[in-house]
Chain A
Amino acid sequence: MTAPVASPSATGRYEAVIGIEIHVQLRTRSKMFCGCSTDFQAAPPNSHTCPICLGMPGTLPVANRLAVEHVLATGLALEAEIVPVTRWDRKNYFYPDLPKGYQISQYDLPLTQNGRLTFDTSEGPFTVGIRRAHLEEDTARLLHMTGDSGDRASLVDFNRSGVALMEIVTEPDLRTAEQARRYAEELRLLLLTIGASEAALESGQMRVEANISLRPIGAQAFGTRVEVKNMNSFRSVERAIGHEIERQAGVLSNGGDVIQETRGWDENRAATYTMRLKEDSQDYRYFPEPDLPPLKADPAWLDEIRARQPELPAARRARYRAELGLSAYDANVIVGDLKATRVFEGALAAESALPAKRVANWVTGEYLRLAKGSDAIDALEPAELGRLLRLVDEGTLSGTSAKEVFARIFAGERTAAVVEELGLAQISDGGALETAVDEVLAANPAAVEDIRAGKAQAIGFLVGQVMKQTRGRANAAMVRELIRSRLDAAPPAATAPRRPKGTPEASG
């Protein structure tokens, strides 16, 4: 069955109301309520389990303090209220991936609530309200398979069971698919920045769900809500939501009713499909978890977390623009990539006299080109980039040579060693340059004539010849200056190749 597609005019009659729920696995060494290691990505099934995360009789949970800290740090970063005393609740339902038959979560008293996050969109900055962020535990993973005899079986891998999860829920403030994607991207950047999560969508460390409803433009009441899941990349978040808005607009403009349901995004078909109808939704019978004492976020602990908090992306972008004079584009690109930020900050810290803009150009240009566009492993020591750019600034290294050196320091080498090894130090020595220039002038009388005849662009050709002869090491500005002065100083007839002086010069 194909969904009715709305005409652009139909979509235009409605306003989309979108709220996002995001689950992220928190970056902790051990699980939420037991000591099992969370480093199970490459481990065999059920190898990272213990009586607690298997829900054995008699076991009890002990809360992971670091996980709580990550949620508090997230709350602070989202300018949210931190609830001083909260508690855990049991969310009851039966499923084979839930070993205790309940999930320890937080129901009506989340650790943090009423925050906000501002991000850029193509239509300017947008602020979304954050309703809450709370802690819970992850479920096991189910693997469905068909046996040799054709019988179907479900296998349960409890490695993921009990991993610390944070759920972050927005207010229904978002109106476009792009805003939703940008929110998810900005939240991920924030979580990476504070170290709360690795937040990789592809591996399921970050799971995005969208609640989408449409209402006629100008209406106040919300329309019927559809939940969309299974969006495994930022691109699919935007595509799935965009598709769902169109689908609902089509239904409504054809006089139909949107059904309250959960739909999955099928990336290959580029369509959503019905996963579960509202009638199947359950009563989770939440009640306070008696096995855990109340969760207290005392002010001293919060102060400690606040003091440790790194500069957040929004503040960093603002500082780059206001204090370092970076363009909005450069600030966004650098802040949007934690590694680029680290390189930028590190290079500047090592060589504080460098113009920030020049460093930014290198980071957004050469660095990101190699880091994202090649298979080379990023082992760059940021200070080495600083040293490299200083050599360029001092005129010791030409721009061309600098790129050659950068490729090597990107792989982990030291600037000084590479420059030394390749003998790349720029020739700024007057004598050596004069020799090279004189040779080139002698070898290119036609170009010399052209210049004398007023064709100034021929100077470029001669500079290029000098660079070629010196394998790029000549200081181009000095060469240009030398050529000018030679042609001004001597009549052509008098020009004769000079004997090279005894300047040591690498040859061949």
Chain B
Amino acid sequence: MTAGQDPAITRLRAHEMAAGLREGRFTALALLEAHLELIRDENRVLHAWSSVDEDGARQAAVAADRQLSKEGGRAIQGPAALPPLLGIPVALKDLVVTRGQPSTAGSRILKGFLSPYDAHIAERLREAGAVVVGKTNMDEFAMGSSTEHSAWGPTANPWALDRVPGGSSGGSAAAVAAFHVPLAIGTDTGGSIRQPAALTGTVGMKPTYGRVSRYGIIAFASSLDQVGPFGRDVRDAAMLLGVVAGRDEHDSTSAPMQVPDYAAELPADDDEAAASVKGLRLGLPREYFVPGMEPGVEARIREAVGALEAAGAEIVELSLPHSEYGLATYYIIAPAEASANLARYDGIRYGQSVRGEDVLGNYLATRGSGFGAEVKRRVMLGTYALSAGYYDAYYLKAQKVRTLLKRDFDLAFKQVDALIAPTSPTVAFPLGARLADPVAMYLSDVCTLPVNMAGLPGISVPCGLSEGLPVGLQFIGRAWDESRLFGLGRAYEAITASAEWRSLEPTDLPALSDPSAPAPAERLAAARA
């Protein structure tokens, strides 16, 4: 360890780091270097990162320190005037483009691609003073629930290195869980933030569709994709969403709505937070306790429901009758949109280019070698669903079912203020366990993807362990009701503040810096052999 760096500062929450920076307890550069050191020592075994921009991050940290010391000199003005994330390290999923930096979306076809422009949220983060450390590993084009479908190899789960961190934002989730950064950006198309948050014991929120600009987010399924935050507690996630949310003229689907100061709305006091659930009506949808759900997961969810009830919430069992069609319709609509979104990767303007005999030959060679098996599977599914003669039976039908799924939620929210459900029916599964069976993999998202289909916000917060692995509790809200979800998450944190599992760090953290520990790709190869 380099002298002068305190590893404990990486254990702080982002809002605690912000306070420490303002009080001059450490500098942004020291904070960054402590994180960079962990990344350097541990990324071989964790493989959460696909690229790290040390120079860019240092420049941002130095600039933050300059601003901190300048503002510090005018102490009376107070720290409130400083941008909210000043000096805080943040990771971006490898599909958020940043000018001059690699953004591969986990795909060989974007190897070497340097974006000529910044994503809207990258600009917002910079304006907020954030120190963008680099890009995190992900399933190729966000298609997957384990991060095993990355062209650059899988990511390990810090709680058990032979297990997946979930996906597709598995790199962001693992990086936050392993203290490589306090905050990370992910995207969620069918559960890609909430499921890895659940599997790594972190907080992850998928906001309402349209809450965060998608401009500069490499698209998977445009009507479902949404950007959201990872943090180690609810307040941190709220702080990050507050920075990136809001209308962007470059995204016609982003909503022209006021963005509340999510973090500031949260009660600092645990008692006050716990009391806030009193009188709230929380719906417990029957269908989300699916067959195949692990008993340990169900037990943790029932306990969490009990704890909220004990704190004064009213629990209402209800039905979302079309939930069982969620998975099937999702796997029509998402691949259909993806088949068009991925058509631009033709090897002509950027990314990987493989020459063939003629124009068609170029396409076949470039796309044939540039895309992985799961991407090809979904492009074929989507192309099929949109083809003449099949469109009505598949795509159009799926859109109708989507309307029914939405209506289920609309009816539920006439009775209750929010829904409470498991995030994932299982804890983190072993590397390789579901690779051979796509449908088993798809089932990972059965509790999350209806929320994307309805465009609603959902948050996953840790609710204990099953077999030593994290379980995630999901709150689902009305459109634009992120504040309530953060409030519920914060209340649940307060209610369970003294629970033993809250004090635990991921089990396998010590092994991350072990030179003899295998890399995730080696573990996966061994598991498949």
Binding site for B on A (CB under 8 A): 51, 54-63, 90, 92, 94-96, 99-102, 154, 156, 283, 285-287, 290-293
Contact = CB atoms under 8 A, between A and B. Distances in A.
Given A54-B349, A96-B359, A285-B386, A62 B343 contact: no
A51 B386 contact: no
Given A156-B348, A285-B383, A291-B253, A58 B215 contact: yes
Contacts of A59: 117, 215-216
A287 B252 contact: no
27 contacts: A51-B115, A51-B117, A56-B97, A56-B116, A56-B349, A56-B350, A57-B95, A57-B103, A57-B105, A57-B218, A58-B95, A58-B214, A58-B216, A60-B214, A60-B252, A62-B249, A96-B346, A96-B359, A99-B349, A100-B344, A285-B391, A287-B336, A287-B386, A287-B391, A290-B221, A291-B252, A292-B253
B504 interface: no
A315 B216 CA distance: 49
Interface in B107-144: 110, 113, 115-117, 119
Among B221, B251, B349, the one with the most A-chain Cβ atoms within 10 Å of its Cβ is B349
3 closest A-B pairs by beta carbon, nearest first, are A101-B343, A290-B223, A290-B222
Nearest to B349: A54
Contacts of B250: 60, 62
A100 B349 contact: no
B222 A291 contact: yes
Contacts of B95: 57-58
A111 to B, nearest CB: 17
Given A57-B97, A283-B388, A291-B253, A102 B343 contact: yes
B169 to A, nearest CB: 16
Contact of A58 (B219, B249, B252, B395): B219
Contacts of A92: 339-340, 343, 386
B363 interface: yes
Contact of A57 (B113, B222, B383): B113
Grouping DSSP codes into helix (H, G, I), strand (E, B) and loop, the A interface class, with mixed when no group exceeds half, is loop
A51 B250 CA distance: 12
Interface string B189-210: 0000000000000000000000
A56 B249 contact: no
Among A57, A58, A291, the one with the most B-chain Cβ atoms within 10 Å of its Cβ is A57
A100 B343 contact: yes
Interface of B: 95-97, 103, 105, 110, 113, 115-117, 119, 214-219, 221-223, 249-253, 336-337, 339-340, 342-344, 346, 348-350, 359, 363, 383, 386-388, 391, 395
Contacts of A99: 344, 348-349
Contacts of B103: 57-58
Contacts of A102: 340, 343
B523 to A, nearest CB: 30
A102 B395 CA distance: 18
Contacts of B359: 95-96, 154
A363 to B, nearest CB: 47
B387 A57 contact: no
A291 B395 CA distance: 17
A63 B252 CA distance: 8
A310 B136 CA distance: 57
B346 A58 contact: no
Given A94-B363, A290-B337, A60 B251 contact: yes
Contacts of A101: 340, 342-344, 346
A95 to B, nearest CB: 8
B221 to A, nearest CB: 8
B108 to A, nearest CB: 14
A342 to B, nearest CB: 38
Contacts of B348: 96, 99, 156
Contact of B252 (A56, A156, A286, A293): A293
A34 to B, nearest CB: 9
B209 to A, nearest CB: 10
A283 B223 CA distance: 23
B438 to A, nearest CB: 23
A99 B351 CA distance: 13
B451 to A, nearest CB: 17
Given A287-B386, A290-B337, A291-B222, A55 B252 contact: no
A57 B337 contact: no
Nearest to B389: A283
A59 B113 CA distance: 15
Nearest to B213: A60
Contacts of A286: 386
Contacts of A100: 340, 343-344
Given A92-B343, A283-B387, A58 B119 contact: yes
A285 B110 CA distance: 25
Among B113, B215, B340, B395, the one with the most A-chain Cβ atoms within 10 Å of its Cβ is B340
A287 B398 CA distance: 12
Given A287-B386, A290-B222, A57 B115 contact: yes
Contacts of A154: 359
A90 B350 contact: no
A292 B221 CA distance: 13
Contact of A61 (B252, B349, B350): B252
Given A56-B117, A57-B115, A292 B219 contact: no
A101 B343 CA distance: 5
Contact of B387 (A55, A96, A285): A285
Contacts of B346: 94, 96, 101
Nearest to A55: B344
Among A51, A101, A292, the one with the most B-chain Cβ atoms within 10 Å of its Cβ is A101
A156 B359 CA distance: 13
A287 B395 contact: yes
A166 B110 CA distance: 34
A57 B386 contact: no
A154 B116 CA distance: 24
Contacts of A51: 115-117
A70 B91 CA distance: 45
B349 A293 contact: no
Contacts of B251: 60
Nearest to A156: B348
A58 B110 CA distance: 12
A104 to B, nearest CB: 10
A44 to B, nearest CB: 17
B340 A293 contact: no
Nearest to A101: B343
Among A54, A156, A283, A290, the one with the most B-chain Cβ atoms within 10 Å of its Cβ is A290
A99 B216 CA distance: 16
Contact of B349 (A55, A62, A283, A287): A55
B343 A94 contact: yes
A505 to B, nearest CB: 73
A61 B337 CA distance: 15
A100 B110 CA distance: 15
A92 B336 CA distance: 11
B407 to A, nearest CB: 19
Contacts of A57: 95, 97, 103, 105, 110, 113, 115, 218-219, 344, 350
A291 B223 CA distance: 7
Contacts of A58: 95-97, 103, 115, 119, 214-219
Nearest to A62: B252
A154 B95 CA distance: 31
A297 to B, nearest CB: 16
